[in-house]
Chains A and B, each alone.
Chain A
Amino acid sequence: MGDEIVKVNDETRRRAFEDLLDKTDKKKPKQEDVKALRKMLRETPEVWRIAGDLAQQATLATIDKIPATEAMKSSIRAGLNAIKDDLGYQDAPALEKLLTEQVVMSWLRMNLTEYHYTNVMMGKFISLPLAGHWERQLDAAQRRYLRACETLARVRKLIRRTPALQVNIATEGGQQINVA
């Protein structure tokens, strides 16, 4: 895992990727730039696994911070899997899977913030700056969650309108997976 993160964080590769994003984000990009971007996505399959792994790690770290018993945490994990299933995670292409992970991660984060906010508001010693802090945190968490849902919905709509255009990314074992 450590080596993989080094690969993704590799500044040169990252800059090249961002450069390609800039070049192709135009009404009429050069075909060679689009091809280069596709090639780059194909040739860095670890980015998918790492992004997915990091999302799952962030979700697990959030669950760890919930002041609850282990049984309760297990039931939260099961609940999250049920939400993922409801969002069609199992049969979704790789990109939608990533975006679903993000929705789950931000939903959990929002709920944890809500928990702290409620605790502060119900506490014996309410300090106004503290209450204000949690209110702003809750506001930001709600915005993050809504943005994640919107992105998933928008990408689904865009990708499903263009089923013929698919990028196949080779996984480590040589198997091809649909990302969009």
Chain B
Amino acid sequence: MYYYRKRRIGGRVVSEYVGGGVVGELAALQGECDRFKRVDQRKADRLTREEMRTLDRQVDEVAELIRAVTQGVLLATGHHTHKGQWRKRRDG
């Protein structure tokens, strides 16, 4: 049994001879193990990203509510926006 490992060099995939016999089998096992770890890692990454997206949505929803309330209070207490900045009304 001979074991070849695929490697990407400068955007090209090349086959690399690793060995035959026991060495080849061990290398094949190691390669398989690494592949499983990569798949597991990808799954975990996807889950984490989904969870974080849910958290982001929650945080954004709260931020939007707080922004509206803040705007309401500032307007009710005699402020207005001028070129995107909050200012106190002269007669407020």
* B contact patch SS: helix
- Asked whether, in the complex, the Cβ of A65 is within 8 Å of the Cβ of B55, the reply is yes
Q: Is B88 an interface residue (CB 8 A)?
A: yes
- B59–A180 contact, CB under 8 A? no
User: Is the C-beta of B78 less than 8 angstroms from some C-beta in chain A?
Assistant: yes
CB distance B65 to A17 under 8 Å?
Answer: no
**Cα–Cα distance between A8 and B66 once the two chains are bound (Å):** 12
Name the residue on A nearest B74 (C-beta): A158
Identify the A interface with B (CB < 8 A).
Answer: 8, 17-18, 20-21, 24-29, 34, 37-38, 40-41, 47-48, 50-51, 54-55, 57-58, 61-62, 65, 95, 98-99, 101-102, 105-106, 109, 112-113, 116, 120, 123-125, 130, 133, 137, 144, 148, 151, 154-155, 158-159, 161-162, 165-167, 179-180
Residues of B within 8 A of A (CB): 37-38, 41, 45, 48-49, 51-52, 55-56, 58-59, 61-63, 65-66, 68-82, 86, 88-89, 91-92
> Nearest Cβ in chain B — how far from A45, in angstroms?
11
Tell which of B38, B41, B75 has the most Cβ of chain A within 10 Å.
B75
Q: What chain A residues lie within 8 Å of B37 (beta carbons)?
A: 124-125
The 3 tightest CB contacts between A and B, nearest first, are A24-B75, A165-B77, A58-B58
A137–B70 touching, CB < 8 Å: no
